């Protein structure tokens, strides 16, 4: 391959700066904030929604940047991450710090333009993710428990942005996404067990892809499914779904639980990957059903 061909195929500076924010993950997180917003709002304020989307992306992006700065040496040891901008030197550490801090400050400011509680929870998510969860990944499997807190904030953040307050409704959304993260991330940890071991990360609850981990996946999946149905009983304030939607949610829950049990029985990376994909589909469809139920009933 000629030098010219190499240059042409190398990512541009813009591509590097986009890549380091993990755009697909960031967009998924922003989507959950949008869902939470529409669950609470009666008449959408599109400027407010813009602040939520842009601010949310900047905050998630900055968290990902800080995460990759801290883990850059370990990322170089794993096949999945060794070609990221920091391990390859396409972005320097000082530039990444500047970029991450600028994104974080911009994100908090945009959320502040909505209301103070939204800015507070947004800033809290960065601190929990970058300063606590990320360092714990090499120390203890409890990192997943800690990481579930910032991971659960975006869904409830949308409700807080629309209402300006934290109550039982955003608390329920928080719980749903909090418990969902355990089977989701343990499925990822299972399918990438070798890669994580190479990087020195402790992601699985028992320390290995074994029956004990699979049992916990099943138990947390059950908790997730039960919480997702709670709003039908009209005990979560203004957050409510009809029985028709609850049936759909229940069917999705059985689909999710089927693959969790399948992992317990077969204990294979193939099933773990299917469970991971099902978990992403599950939480996305639950959010869509909740919003559709509100506006169609």
What is the spatial distance between Cα 189 and Cα 224, in angstroms, rounded to a whole number?
A: 19
Are 156 and 170 in contact by the 8 Å Cβ rule? The answer is yes
Task: Give the CA diameter of the chain.
Answer: 66
Sequence-distant (≥ 6) Cβ neighbours of residue 196 within 8 angstroms: 78, 189, 202, 203
Q: Could you say which of 3.30.70.20, 1.10.357.140, 2.30.40.10, 3.40.30.10 is the CATH number of the domain covering 11-166?
A: 1.10.357.140
pTM of the predicted model, to two decimals?
A: 0.90
pLDDT digits over 268-289, tens only?
A: 999 999 999 999 999 999 999 9
Supply the pLDDT for residue 6.
41
**What are the Cα distances from residue 244, in Å, to 129, 190, 248, 289?**
37, 35, 7, 10
Mean pLDDT of 51-66: 95
pLDDT digits over 194-212, tens only?
A: 999 888 898 999 999 999 9
Q: How confident is the model at residue 9 (pLDDT cuts 50, 70, 90)?
A: low
Are 189 and 247 in contact by the 8 Å Cβ rule? The answer is no
Extents of the domains making up the chain: 11-166, 167-297
């Amino acid at each position: 391959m000629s030098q010219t061909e190499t240059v042409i195929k190398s990512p541009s500076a813009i591509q590097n700066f986009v890549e380091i924010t993990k755009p697909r993950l960031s967009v998924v997180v922003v989507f959950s904030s949008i869902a939470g917003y529409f669950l609470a709002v009666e008449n959408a304020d599109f400027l407010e929604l813009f602040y939520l989307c842009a601010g949310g992306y900047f905050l998630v992006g900055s968290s990902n940047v800080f995460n990759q700065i801290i883990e850059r040496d370990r990322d170089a040891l794993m096949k999945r991450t060794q070609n990221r901008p920091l391990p390859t030197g396409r972005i320097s550490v000082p530039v990444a710090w500047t970029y991450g801090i600028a994104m974080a400050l911009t994100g908090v400011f945009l959320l502040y333009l909505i209301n103070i509680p939204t800015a507070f929870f947004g800033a809290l998510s960065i601190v929990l993710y970058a300063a606590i969860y990320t360092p714990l990944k090499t120390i203890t499997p409890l990192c997943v428990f800690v990481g579930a807190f910032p991971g659960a904030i975006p869904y409830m953040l949308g409700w807080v942005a629309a209402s300006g307050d934290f109550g039982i409704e955003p608390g329920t959304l928080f719980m749903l996404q909090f418990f969902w993260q355990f089977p989701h991330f343990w499925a990822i940890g299972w399918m990438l067990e070798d890669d994580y071991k190479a990087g020195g990360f402790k992601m699985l609850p028992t320390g290995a892809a074994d029956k004990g981990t699979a049992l916990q996946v099943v138990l947390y999946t059950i908790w997730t499914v039960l919480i997702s149905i709670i709003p039908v009983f009209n005990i979560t304030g203004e957050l409510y779904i009809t029985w028709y939607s609850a049936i759909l949610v229940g069917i999705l829950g059985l689909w999710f639980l089927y693959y969790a049990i399948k992992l317990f029985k077969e204990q294979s990376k193939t099933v773990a990957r299917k469970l991971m994909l099902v978990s992403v589909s599950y939480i996305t469809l639950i959010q869509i059903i909740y919003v559709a139920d509100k506006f169609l009933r």
